[in-house]
């Protein structure tokens, strides 16, 4: 009886292993998938597509540079200072854009890719992988947010403690020298038993200021990671397309999208108070990511098949990760931090205007899903 049971168990394991290998092979195959949608390409013009892609690279690059540069260039001007009402409204608008990007665009694209008919029904259409991966990405972002914040706070405290110790020692030496130089000498037989407190002119920043600065540093870096990751995917998707009917509406939509994402990122970089070199590097990296993705996609368009199972799985998983990061950053570090943290001030007019800007950005970016 035990021999029969062992044989059945081995047969079931072998059967399950065969199903797993077949599913994995079908999921990561690079062979093209023939569907009615892919076979009926009535709008294809390689010559026009090349010109449209060049126009898209130029437009998206310009709008991205302008968007990320405005907060950086205007941080010392009254209108666009990071503590001014104009910046608060523009950042609220950009937060709505990023929130809609995660929910309406990236999560929807991930769901579409991972439930495509070119993929095996099991497991891709039996489990909501897009939402599951987005949830894991959001939780991972939370852990990274906490870990980076602790790291930078400890680093800042160590640097501050070192500066304080040096300042105390220097001030003590100076005060001791000053006491010796001005104190009258004791008369004969007189004993001086007087302790003088050293003059220690040390100024320390409050813990709240340190925490706020650290939060801005962490938020700017994680936000750039989320934006850059999905910008690469967007650029590749546009670059591999060979249909002018698909690319034309995408140019205006992506330019608008790039401008406001750049503004939100530029505001976070400005608030983090990085050096000019580091700010410029972060801004440049953001601005060139989508155009670089378009250029790479254009180069591989002749042999890349966006409907192959492997491409669909990779695109869907990356879109899900990007959606989770952007949704977390928009809700926690942009919207909640400003609207619930009291950063929009006590002015009722500014509060109402900020909510209007937030909903306007979210609804405007959501409406672009009609074309993009």
Question: Residues 188-203: pLDDT tens digits?
Answer: 545 444 444 444 464 4
CB 354 within 8 A of CB 91: no
Minimum mean pLDDT range among 47-51, 76-80, 180-184, 218-222: 180-184
The owner of tokens 């972060």 is 282
With 0-12 / 13-18 / 19 or more C-beta atoms within 10 angstroms meaning exposed / middle / buried, residue 360 is middle
Residues 143-165 have a mean pLDDT of 79
Is residue 330 very low, low, confident or very high in pLDDT (cuts 50, 70, 90)?
very high
Q: What is the DSSP string of 226-248?
A: HHHHHHHHHHHHHHH---HHHHH
Is residue 216 very low, low, confident or very high in pLDDT (cuts 50, 70, 90)?
confident
Q: In whole angstroms, what is the distance from residue 44 CA to residue 50 CA?
A: 11
Please give the angle made by the CA atoms of 110, 111 and 112, to the nearest 5 degrees: 90
Whole-number Cα distances in Å, 23 to 18, 26, 73, 124, 171 = 9, 5, 53, 10, 72
Task: Choose between 62 and 30: higher pLDDT.
Answer: 62
Q: In whole angstroms, what is the distance from residue 309 CA to residue 199 CA?
A: 73
pLDDT at 279: 92
Whether the pLDDT of residue 18 is over 70: the answer is: no
Residues 23-46 have a mean pLDDT of 59
Is residue 368 very low, low, confident or very high in pLDDT (cuts 50, 70, 90)?
confident
pTM, whole model, 2 decimals? Answer: 0.75
Nearest Cα to 156, choosing from 217, 201, 220, 82?
Answer: 217
CB 271 within 8 A of CB 217: no
Is residue 22 very low, low, confident or very high in pLDDT (cuts 50, 70, 90)?
low
Highest mean pLDDT among 123-127, 136-140, 152-156, 252-256: 136-140
Minimum mean pLDDT range among 29-38, 107-116, 122-131, 189-198: 189-198
The overall average pLDDT reported for the chain is 79
pLDDT at 29: 59
- Per cent of the chain over pLDDT 70 is 73
Q: 211: which residues sit within 8 A by CB, 6+ positions away? A: 153
Q: How far is CA 233 from the centre of its chain?
A: 14
With 0-12 / 13-18 / 19 or more C-beta atoms within 10 angstroms meaning exposed / middle / buried, residue 171 is middle
């Amino acid at each position: 009886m035990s021999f029969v049971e062992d044989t059945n168990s081995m047969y079931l394991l072998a059967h399950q292993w065969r199903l797993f290998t077949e599913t994995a092979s079908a999921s990561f195959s690079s062979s093209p998938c023939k569907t009615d949608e892919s076979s009926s390409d009535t709008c294809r013009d390689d010559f026009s597509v090349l010109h449209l892609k060049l126009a898209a690279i130029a437009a998206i690059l310009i709008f991205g540079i302008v968007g990320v540069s405005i907060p950086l260039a205007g941080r010392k001007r009254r209108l666009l200072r990071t503590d001014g009402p104009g910046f608060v409204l523009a950042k609220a608008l950009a937060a709505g854009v990023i929130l809609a990007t995660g929910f309406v665009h990236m999560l929807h694209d991930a769901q579409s890719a991972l439930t495509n008919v070119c993929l095996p029904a099991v497991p891709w259409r039996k489990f909501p992988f897009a939402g599951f991966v987005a949830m894991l990405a959001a939780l991972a972002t939370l852990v990274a947010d906490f870990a980076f914040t602790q790291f930078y706070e400890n680093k800042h405290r160590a640097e501050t403690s070192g500066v304080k110790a040096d300042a105390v020692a220097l001030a003590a030496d100076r005060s001791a020298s000053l006491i010796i130089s001005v104190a009258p000498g004791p008369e004969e037989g007189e004993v001086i038993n007087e302790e003088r407190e050293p003059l220690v002119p040390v100024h320390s920043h409050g813990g709240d200021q340190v925490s706020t600065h650290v939060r801005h540093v962490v938020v700017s870096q994680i936000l750039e990671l989320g934006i850059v990751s999905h910008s690469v995917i967007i650029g590749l998707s546009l670059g591999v397309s060979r249909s002018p009917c698909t690319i034309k509406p995408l140019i205006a939509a992506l330019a608008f999208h790039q401008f406001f994402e750049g503004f939100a990122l530029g505001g976070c970089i400005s608030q983090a108070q990085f050096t000019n070199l580091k700010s410029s590097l972060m801004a440049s990296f953001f601005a060139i990511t989508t155009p670089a993705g378009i250029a790479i996609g254009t180069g591989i368009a002749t042999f890349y098949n966006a409907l192959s199972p492997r491409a669909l799985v990779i695109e869907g998983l990356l879109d899900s990760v990007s959606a989770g990061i952007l949704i977390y950053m928009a809700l926690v570090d942009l919207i909640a931090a400003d609207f619930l943290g009291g950063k929009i001030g006590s002015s009722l007019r500014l509060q109402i205007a900020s909510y209007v800007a937030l909903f306007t950005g979210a609804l405007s970016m959501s409406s672009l899903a009609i074309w993009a």
